[in-house]
Amino acid sequence: MERVARQVQMALAEVLVSGLKDPRFQPVTITHVRVSPDLRHSDVRFMPLLGQQGDPDVLCGILNAASGYLQREVGKRVRLKYTPRFRFHIDTQGEEALAMDALLSTIREELGEE
């Protein structure tokens, strides 16, 4: 399943590089794809590209609205018995990691460590 998830992730990234017709769409990074055991559904985690303005929730709505188009385009690129249906989710792990790193740096400074 991980091999299929990687192929789907690469194909989805190719489709998203060409963009969507929605003018509100901004480039995103696909951080993780998890495909269900029956290959019919996949959860896709994404982050807006650094420096991009916009609400991630709006981007999530745009991507979920375009999931049928994205499924069809990925199906053209990846040969599978079933092309999974996409459910998009905002990936907050990067932000959480930066916040944790800042917190640890603050604690180190308070303790006088470098």
For residue 97, the surrounding DSSP H or E stretch is helix 93-111
Are 41 and 5 a contacting pair, CB within 8 Å? Answer: no
Residue that has been written with the tokens 């199906």 in this structure: 75
The pLDDT score that the predictor gives to residue 19 is 79
Span of 11-15, 65-69, 84-88, 97-101 with lowest mean pLDDT: 97-101
How is domain 2-111 classified at the architecture level of CATH?
2-Layer Sandwich (3.30)
And the tokens for 108?
A: 């180190």
What residue segments make up the domains of the chain, in order of their start? 2-111
- In the chain, the amino acid numbered 78 is V
The pTM of this model reads 0.77
Give the pLDDT confidence of 78-113 residue by residue, as tens digits. Answer: 988 889 999 999 988 877 877 888 899 888 888 876
CA dist 64 and 58 (Å) reads: 10
